[in-house]
Amino acid sequence: MVMDGLTMEVGAVAAMRYVKDGIKAARLVMQHTKHTLLAGEKASEFAISMGLPGPTNLSSTESINKWGKWKDDKCQPNFRKNVLPINNCGPYHPTNSLELSEEICSNTAHMQDINSLLPHVGLHSHDTISMAVIDKMGRVAVGTSTNGATFKIPGRVGDGPIVGSSAYADNEVGACCATGDGDVMMRFLPCYQVVESMRLGMEPKSAAQDAIARIARRFPDFVGAVVAVNKKGEHAGACHGWTFTYSVRTLAMEDVEVFTVLP
């Protein structure tokens, strides 16, 4: 997802396969269509029709090995809930079904044990990159790119392409970027909240902390973080469930400076 804070134009793609450069595809949506979000196979077709390389096999040796181990572990952990599987990896049936077989019931404890021990979202189970930029003219833009959560249910769309959740920009105020448990965070549009809080006079630190606190009050076990930057370039981060780091670089700096945010 990319957003121009001057024009408020947005381009995004979701559930796109066979095209490596999702952020480039999102920019093409913004620049060359009147739409905001394209999804699935047709998003891939659009990206390729606009000149991006593809279709491409995006699997790596590492990802194939990780997937194979997950299959060997009976497709656990996964993101399903209130269901029981047949033959380890499905099909799945609701737990309140009146026709559950003994084979399904035998898997109940196994699923509950694994899913209770292994978090779905953590330091090594997602790969979001989100960036906010202010140019020499004061124009603000944001972009977010991600492969999504590891072992997600096919078809899942997280917060990455959702405007106001993974990122948001407004030249009049500033910008916000987010990462973490997108399935929870997208319910609160934290980056939109951050920018609107700064519009009302909050400093970046207070705006970031407020947005995270709103989520934590309802989902105390969630993992996530936001970074807020106002139009003057003042910035701060807030997080919950982990120690978060983000980096900043200005024209006057020779290299990036890394900031650590404690939960």
Q: Which residues are catalytic?
A: 128
Distance between CA 213 and CA 235 in Å, rounded? 18
Q: How long, in residues, is the chain?
A: 263
Can you say how many angstroms the Cα of residue 47 is from the centroid of all Cα atoms in its chain?
21
C-alpha separations of 192 from 78, 197, 230 in Å:
29, 9, 13
Q: Are 2 and 23 in contact (CB under 8 A)?
A: yes
C-alpha separations of 56 from 17, 18, 179 in Å:
8, 5, 27
Q: Are 10 and 163 in contact (CB under 8 A)?
A: yes
